[in-house]
Amino acid sequence: MVAAGKGSRLQSKVPKQYLKIGDHQIVDICINMISSHKFCKYLIVVLDKDYSKYYKFKNTKKNIVFITGGKSRHESVFKAIKVLPKNNFLLLIHDAARPGIDHIIIDKLINSLSKEFSGVVPTLPINDSIIKKDKILSSVKRENLYRIQTPQIFSANVLSLKDFDKNNEATDESEIIIKKNKKVKIIKGNEKLHKITTEWDYKFLMNIFDTQNNIRTGNGFDVHAFTKEPSKLILGGVIIDYQFGLKGHSDADVLLHSITDAILGSISMGDIGTHFPPNESKWKNANSSIFLKKSLKLLKEKNGEINNLDITIICEEPKISTYTKEIQKNLSKLLNIKEEKISLKATTTEGLGFTGRKEGIAVMSNILVNIKS
């Protein structure tokens, strides 16, 4: 794996392979993906000579070797091949500036290699029109043109060290193989394998990978007992027609409490009692939407947004189904998300336990949030 680039086209002091996506440096994302593949016998990582300013070795697996590269990509690949033990291994070459590498593409490359071909490379068609600037501008047919990506795979010993001397102008190893009149197979690549060259590329990939990596779940469970005297019952901010209300310090909206706990749980920030202690008199009879709004504010501070919410109300009485739509609508307003992102269900415990004895209501909420960085 070549990770020796300087990344001069990126407006960053840190070479692109050492930048972070989520919690991991790009070079580590590639190392982990390649070294965890079942066919990986050795991984030679070629770093630039100043790597120590930006990178500390984290991977101590025996079959991973770090070396410093040469002046060009060719010199770097050349140095890496020299380190490899002489054997009939397949050779996989990858640019560390493409953090989208995964086992699916590695498997596809291995499975596409046959006796007929000396190498397999992932490619994508060119969708933009192409013109050539020479003395005059001329158009070029794009139908037979492809963009080449990495990783690329080569059959054992097809690349010799001499080849690198002869072809030091080639931009990648597949070009060397083609110049040797050997056949290279092209397979469909993946936009995910996009190479980080510009600031835009980095931000684009960061957006894609971050939403994948920072999906978090939270769950909330709350129970309140019914009052003995007739009082107002509020669920999800909606007044429900029932003879009893729920006991509690605040307005006892068990549904909003459970959602609040789910949101706080998704960002590991305690529970409703941490932020609104029940012994504080100012929360007496408080509208529970205050608690919900506070948890939403904390989620927003973490750059999080709700993906979806699934709620189950557990009680024998009252009958919830006639209120489902209204509660959903109110939750959508309070949470500022579309109604379709909120699922609200109700069930009984078949006459068993405290809910079965009509002593109170329990609510369970599960939430999925995306944290963007």
Residue 99 or 248 with smaller CB distance to Zn ion: 248
* C-alpha angle 191-125-46 in degrees, rounded to nearest 5: 55
Query: Cβ of residue 216: shortest distance to Zn ion, in angstroms?
Result: 23
Residue 17 or 288 with smaller CB distance to Zn ion: 288
Query: Cβ of residue 361: shortest distance to Zn ion, in angstroms?
Result: 10
Burial class (CB in 10 A: 0-12, 13-18, 19+), 344: buried
Residue 37 φ then ψ, to 5°: -75, 140
What span, in angstroms and rounded, lies between the C-alpha atoms of 184 and 178? 7
**H or E stretch covering 70:** none
Question: How is residue 43 written in tokens?
Answer: 């991984």
**Residue 316 found at the interface with Zn ion (CB under 5 A):** no
Query: Cβ of residue 306: shortest distance to Zn ion, in angstroms?
Result: 20
Question: How is residue 199 written in tokens?
Answer: 């600031």
Residue 122 or 220 with smaller CB distance to Zn ion: 220
Residue 105 or 320 with smaller CB distance to Zn ion: 320
What span, in angstroms and rounded, lies between the C-alpha atoms of 359 and 318? 11
Residue 93 or 254 with smaller CB distance to Zn ion: 254
Query: Cβ of residue 220: shortest distance to Zn ion, in angstroms?
Result: 10
**H or E stretch covering 266:** helix 254-266
What span, in angstroms and rounded, lies between the C-alpha atoms of 368 and 214? 10
Query: Cβ of residue 282: shortest distance to Zn ion, in angstroms?
Result: 16
* C-alpha angle 85-87-91 in degrees, rounded to nearest 5: 85
Amino acid, single-letter form, for residue 339: E
- Check whether the bond before 85 is cis (ω within 30° of 0): no
Residue 51 or 283 with smaller CB distance to Zn ion: 283
- Check whether the bond before 122 is cis (ω within 30° of 0): no
Q: How many residues make contact with Zn ion (CB under 5 A)?
A: 2
Query: Cβ of residue 245: shortest distance to Zn ion, in angstroms?
Result: 13
Query: Cβ of residue 279: shortest distance to Zn ion, in angstroms?
Result: 14
Q: Report the first-to-last Cα separation within the chain, whole angstroms.
A: 27
Q: Which of residues 208-267 bind Zn ion (CB under 5 A)?
A: 222, 257
Residue 194 or 257 with smaller CB distance to Zn ion: 257
Please identify the residue of the shown chain whose CB is closest to the bound Zn ion. 257
Query: Cβ of residue 105: shortest distance to Zn ion, in angstroms?
Result: 49
Question: How is residue 75 written in tokens?
Answer: 């010199």
Residue 260 or 328 with smaller CB distance to Zn ion: 260
Task: Evaluate whether 326 touches 238 at the Cβ level (below 8 Å).
Answer: yes
Question: How is residue 18 written in tokens?
Answer: 């050492």
Residues that bind Zn ion (CB under 5 A): 222, 257
